[in-house]
Each structure stands twice: as C-alpha cells, then as structure tokens.
A and B are shown apart, each in its own frame.
Chain A
Amino acid sequence: MLPGAGGSRAGLPGVGLPGSGAVRADALSRGAGLPEPPPTRTIVLWCPDWPVIAAARAAGAPPEQPFALIAKGLVFASSASARQVGVVRGLRVREAQARCTDLVTQPYDDALDHRAFEPVIRAIEAAAPGVEVLRPGTIALRARGPARYHGGERAAATILAGIAADHGAPGVRAGVADTPFAAEQAARARPTRPGERVRMVPVGGSGSFLAPLPLGVLGDPDLAMVLGRLGLTTLGDFAALTDEQVRDRFGVPGAFLHRLAGGRDPREVSARDVPPDLEVQASFEPPLDRADQIAFAFRRSADEFAAKLRAAGLVATTIRVGIVDERDVLLERVWAHPRWFDAADVVDRVRWQLAGGVDPTGLEAPVTTVVLEPVAVDDLANHERGLWGSGPDERVHHGLARVQGMVGHDGVVTPRIGGGRTLAERIVLVPWGDAPAGGERALAVVRDRPWPGKLPGPPPATVLERPRPVDVVAADGGSVDVDDRGTLTGEPERFRSDGDRGGRFSAVTAWAGPWPLVVRWWESGGRRLHRLQLVDDDGRAWYLVLADHRWWAEAIAT
C-alpha cells in the first residue's frame, strides 16, 4: 500500500472488534493481498455557485442581488449575497424569503444549467482529452496528459482554470489529487493563500488531506448521522475503521464511501472490463429537433440499457453518449456519476447533452441517432442500496445479492399475496431489491378487496404455475362435463393426472363441486369456468378447473 494512503488497519479504540486483520477476498478487491494500483492523478475544475451564476446571468439579475434557485420546495443554491443573510442550501422557500425579503427566486432548470456550461466544457475539451463531466460546474480529467504538455500539474491546472474562467465560469478553482473525490474536495477547499486558484494534494497525501473534513462531504446524510451517533465526525475517523468493520455494519455501499474517505478510489480497483453488446442505440425517422422529444423517445432505450446491465450483474459508473445529427456530425461526451447510473440518470444526461448546443432550442440540426454505451462498469452487488439498520439484515441482503449474481436479478424473489380469484393469480413474486408495482400498500388494498368466487377451506400447498391437463371420467367412460345449468353430466368415478406420461386411472374417493366462476362476463371474450375438488385413492386432493370442456389441475394439496 502507498505510504499514507488509506486508513490504518488498527481498530478504533472503544469499538471492540477482533484485530485479526484477515483480509476477506470479496467482490471489492481483485484478490486478497494484491497491491493497490498506482493512483491516476486527477484534476477537478470547480466553479463555485455555478447554477446561480448561470441562472442569474440568464435572468439578467445584477450580481449583488440576493438570488436563490428552488428545487422541490427547498433552496437548491444561493448567491453569495443571499448566503450572507442566511439563505443556505436545504432551507424551505418560505423560511428563505423570511430571512431575506428582497430575495429573487427562480425554479432550478437543469437543462438551462447545462446549456450555459457547454461552452466551458467545449473549451476544456479543446485543451485536454478525456474530460468527464460530473455535473454542471464540475469537470474531472486525468492529469497526466495536460501535465506533460504544460510542464507540471500545477501549471496545467492553472492554465485549464484560466481557460474555464475565460469562457464564462468566473472564479474557477482547481484541485489535483490521486482520486476524483479527493481532487474535488481539494478544489472546494478554502484557499490557504489569498488569490490561490489551484490546490495540490501530493501523491499519497489524499488520506491526510481528507482526514479533517466533515462527514457531510460524502453526500450521504444517513451515514453521516449514524456515524455521528457513534462518535465519528470527520473523514479521518471514518477512514480509521477497518474495511471489515465498515462492511459488517454498513454493507457494500458503506464500504464504497469508506474507500472514498480514505483517499482510495473504489472505482479504479473494482472496475470490470466492459463486456460487448451493452451498447444501445435509438434512431429517429424523421429526425427530431426538440430536446424534450428526443429525451422522451430515448426513455425506452435507457430502460433497455439498464435492464441489460442488470441482467449481466453490472451497473454503469461512466457512460458515453453519442448524438448524430442530420449532417452526420457526431457529438460524443463522457459522463461520470458519483455513484452509478440508473435509467432516469441516463435520460437526464442525454437531455443535458442535447441542451448544450449554440442554438437556443439546443440543437444545431435535427438528430437522427442517439448512441449510448457504458465506459466503466462495476458489480451490481457493490451498489444495491441495502437495508439500513441492523447488521443481520445487511448480511442477508449481501447474501441474496450474491445469489442474484448466480441466477439473475429475477431469479431471487420474495412472495406476496395479491388479489385475484384463481390461486395462481394471487401469488405475486417480487424480485429481491425491487418493490412491488404500486408499493406494498397498493398490494394490500388489492388483496383486501372482495374477490367473489374464492373457495373456503385451507389453501393448497402446491399451486401449479401452468395448469396441468387432467382427465375426469364418469362411470360410462366419458369425460365429465358441466351442462348449461351448471350441473355435472355424470358423477366423477375415475381420475388421471398424468395421461400424457402414460399414467393410470385411479378411483375418486370423494369429490365436491362444481362451483362456477365467470370471468369478465361483460366482455365478449369472457369465460365461464367451473371448479371441482376431488380426492384420489392415494389420498391426494386435487383442485380442478373445467375450461372449454377440458379439465385442468390448478393446485394440489400435498
């Protein structure tokens, strides 16, 4: 391990855990005992208050005017003058207006935000390769190329920050460190000297640089609260815990943040090779020229992308979106995400990329194709949001996610009882990690509705997924049927359940029915079914249904 990087292996005093120090080979590391790969130095350019600057500029508000952006009823971002009177992020709108009576508020529009940031991105892209956009206002790129070109990391960062400032992002600050997370924190850190625009964190010094920062910078308030209750307040305290302690208590998402806090980049270590065939493409004929239309049409492809990844047991942490317009000009951009992309995030990125054109509607020419492919992927098991709280639940979740890795996401299910009149309909199987459609409450409501036609008696223990054809025969040898008045044409005498496999008939020792079940009588395709129960001479009880003059077994009480 690099000196100084990462947390020490000693346990926190007062937290009694065994100090055996055995490293578990698990999905997060490529194998026990392998050294960490050398860090890839990253430059992060951060423009303070970018959303406010962009929105204020678009609204034409003077810079000294207190200005705030609102999202979901809370303050999303505020200008410096507003912050001075106490309007901070997360405040409710009414509260903010009470604190500052001449506050100008505007709803946050992420498309406008990105559109305004596009010139900055293009300028940086022209100056250095491999630009990754984290969000409007923050760009990450590898330091190696620019450093070699401009003669040093500090020089490169200064020049890039200057380019960004020239293209409309005032006050851009740069941070250089081993990992994107540490570099972003370096860029956001208060300058040590007035006028300093670049903050350098030496190789291997990420751990000690991050140590005094508060836990809130990890972006996970639940974790920060729980750790606060345990007496840990800074990233250094968190990083001092061992990997095993964090894993047992907080599971894989916690282990991810733990690595971030220690100055180790979890993504570099656990990145998997991107398998082929995960690319998704959508073509539009005729070409569309409105960003929202394109984004809407792309939604299905985004869902398909997420489903393909999930079926392969992966999530995408970085994607590349390519937009081809009518003139066959391709605009490609790489997007990174602090955690991972789901379908909604992907559509957002496509929308932002479309909004970035020079034209006010956002596009220079109508778009014919949008191509999406993952650049960096990670194991699904590393990123499923587990149940917070007690250790055992987290362990269960981790174990089940591992089984999902073996049989696929839909292979591991939890059962629920829904509504319906046939026994099979009433079973709802929800894949682990998903919620039932409509939520648990909707399912309970449906279940409690009156379902006429439900038979009394204990439910059978075997409910066939697909009804099995069976034969019910009367004394005269003909199949038993139900006439129009709902009575049987003959008494069931003999029964055969596996006629297609050459089974024999057995005698019927007891039977009851028929009970009619009319399904959708108001539709022309409505069906009239009849139920029958019978016991064969092995003592097994069968739940049968007559449909279209044929008998089917719905369930068996074994």
Chain B
Amino acid sequence: MEATRVDTEGLPTADALAPLLPGGAIRAGGTYSVPESVLLAQTMLQAASAAGAWCAVVGVPSFGVEAAAAAGIDLDRLVLVPDPGDQWLAVTAALADVAQIVLTRPLGRVVPGDVARLSARLRQRGAALVALGSWPGADVTLRVTESHWSGIGQGHGYLTERRVTVTASGRAGAVRPTSTELLLPAADGSVRAAVPVAASAGARVLRPVAVAS
C-alpha cells in the first residue's frame, strides 16, 4: 500500500488493525473515519493507551467504559467530554494538545476549512483523530461489512463472540479497499484477528459455550 505523503511516524497500533492501515500503523497527524462501530474506534485507541499515552473522547455520551477497559484502554489515562455542546470542534482541537489519539463524534456538518486547520494542529502535536461518523478527507475509513455473532441461538446461550469483516477504504482512488476478519469482540472483550476457520459445508459444529466464573 502506498503512502500518499512523506512518511511520518507511526503511533502504536493494535496488531489486528495493522493490515488495514497504510504503512501498517496509525499515522501521527492522520484522520480516520469509523462511521458505525464504537468498539472498532475503541480498538484504534487501545495500543496507544497501553503504551502510556492519553486518549480523549468527545461527544459520545453513551461510551461503553467497561468495553473500553476490556479492549485494553487504560482508564487512568482516558478523558471523556460527553457533551461539548456546539463547541465540539474547539474541544477536539484543545484535546489534541493533551491526548495522543482523540475520538470524536462530529455534531453537524464539518467544514473543510476546519478540517484542514485541525489536521495541521494534529500534525504539529503528533496526534491522530478518529471520527465516529463521516469525516471529509479522512485518510482511511473503516467499515464493518459482515458480522456473525456466536454463542447465541434461538432462545439459548448468550452473546459471546462476534466475527466480523472490516473493510478499509482510503480517500477516493488513492488506496484500494482491503478487508480482514476480526473478532470484534472476542469472548474476553478484546479485539483480535480471527483465525480462519476451515469451511466445513453442511456440518454444524457444536461449540461449548463458556460461562464466566
């Protein structure tokens, strides 16, 4: 995958996401769009947080804290601004000074001028932005295209594990879309690459359902 800019340093990135991103890592100063999946966005934060950096979340009042902790984000270095009101852009920019990765939910239209200013600030601070929604000019957009929950049946079991296909697409024409299969989440709440399952046509495999002790 070719990078369209001069190589800037990469931030710590979860192994599961490496195949989806150009250069195999989140770029300092990069902006990423994850339109739907909060857990996927949390995974973008996980490696940087585990490496000791601060992470910030803006405008997501329903942020699942336990899920973030299970995915590997350190709550001691996580800051939330659940309700920034109409100042979400200013708050996001201010938090770019503090945190290495900022997760933000855009409220309303995003003006390209603001996007350019924010990108410049991110590059200057060595931070990255993950937008929970559409973001004009995002370097990579990650979407969940297929998903299958296991552990739950018709009236029995419980939600245990979700196997998904995540597709990454870059700016129009710049990067070919790539896909990879992830467990989002796995049974313990973490997110990791899915081991390919040998396709056995027809036979249904009964798997033991684990019960947390």
Interface residues of A (CB under 8 A from B): 395-396, 399-400, 402-403, 406-407, 411-417, 423, 426-427, 429, 432, 455-465, 488, 491, 510-513, 533, 535, 539, 541, 543, 555, 557-558
From B22-30, B182-190, B198-206, give the one contacting chain A. B182-190
Nearest CB on A from B147, distance (A): 4
Q: Give 28 CB contacts A-B under 8 Å.
A: A406-B87, A413-B81, A415-B65, A415-B75, A416-B75, A417-B65, A426-B65, A429-B80, A455-B158, A457-B159, A457-B212, A458-B67, A459-B70, A460-B67, A461-B38, A463-B65, A465-B62, A491-B155, A510-B149, A512-B153, A512-B156, A533-B152, A533-B159, A535-B149, A535-B152, A539-B146, A557-B185, A558-B36
Whether B62 and A459, one on each chain, are in contact in the complex, defined by CB atoms closer than 8 angstroms, is no
User: What residue of chain A has the Cβ atom nearest to residue B88's Cβ?
Assistant: A407
Whether B42 and A399, one on each chain, are in contact in the complex, defined by CB atoms closer than 8 angstroms, is no
Q: Is B211 an interface residue (CB 8 A)?
A: yes
User: What residue of chain B has the Cβ atom nearest to residue A414's Cβ?
Assistant: B79
Residues of B within 8 A of A510 (CB): 149, 152-154
Nearest CB on A from B62, distance (A): 5
Bound form: Cα–Cα A461–B34 in Å: 14
Max chain A Cβ within 10 angstroms of own Cβ: one of B79, B147, B159: B159
Whether B64 and A395, one on each chain, are in contact in the complex, defined by CB atoms closer than 8 angstroms, is no
Residues of B within 8 A of A427 (CB): 65-66
Whether A403 and B64, one on each chain, are in contact in the complex, defined by CB atoms closer than 8 angstroms, is no
Contact A406:B39 (CB < 8 A) given known A461-B67, A512-B153: no
Contact A413:B158 (CB < 8 A) given known A407-B87, A458-B186, A557-B39: no
Contact with A along B46-59 (1 / 0, CB 8 A): 00000000100000
Whether A458 and B64, one on each chain, are in contact in the complex, defined by CB atoms closer than 8 angstroms, is no
Task: Identify which of residues 137-171 in chain B touch chain A, using a CB-to-CB cut-off of 8 Å.
Answer: 144, 146-149, 151-162, 164
Whether B146 and A558, one on each chain, are in contact in the complex, defined by CB atoms closer than 8 angstroms, is no
Whether A426 and B66, one on each chain, are in contact in the complex, defined by CB atoms closer than 8 angstroms, is yes
Whether A512 and B155, one on each chain, are in contact in the complex, defined by CB atoms closer than 8 angstroms, is yes
Nearest CB on A from B176, distance (A): 25
Bound form: Cα–Cα A459–B156 in Å: 18
Q: Is B112 an interface residue (CB 8 A)?
A: no
Bound form: Cα–Cα A27–B84 in Å: 22
The listed residue (B67, B81, B147, B187) touching A412 by CB distance below 8 A is B81
Residue total for B at the interface (Cβ-Cβ under 8 A): 59
Whether A458 and B70, one on each chain, are in contact in the complex, defined by CB atoms closer than 8 angstroms, is yes
Q: Is B124 an interface residue (CB 8 A)?
A: no
Nearest CB on B from A266, distance (A): 24
Nearest CB on B from A552, distance (A): 14
Bound form: Cα–Cα A462–B67 in Å: 8
The listed residue (B87, B98, B153) touching A400 by CB distance below 8 A is B98
Residues of B within 8 A of A464 (CB): 62
Bound form: Cα–Cα A396–B99 in Å: 8
Bound form: Cα–Cα A512–B159 in Å: 8
Max chain B Cβ within 10 angstroms of own Cβ: one of A395, A414, A456, A513: A456
Whether B65 and A512, one on each chain, are in contact in the complex, defined by CB atoms closer than 8 angstroms, is no
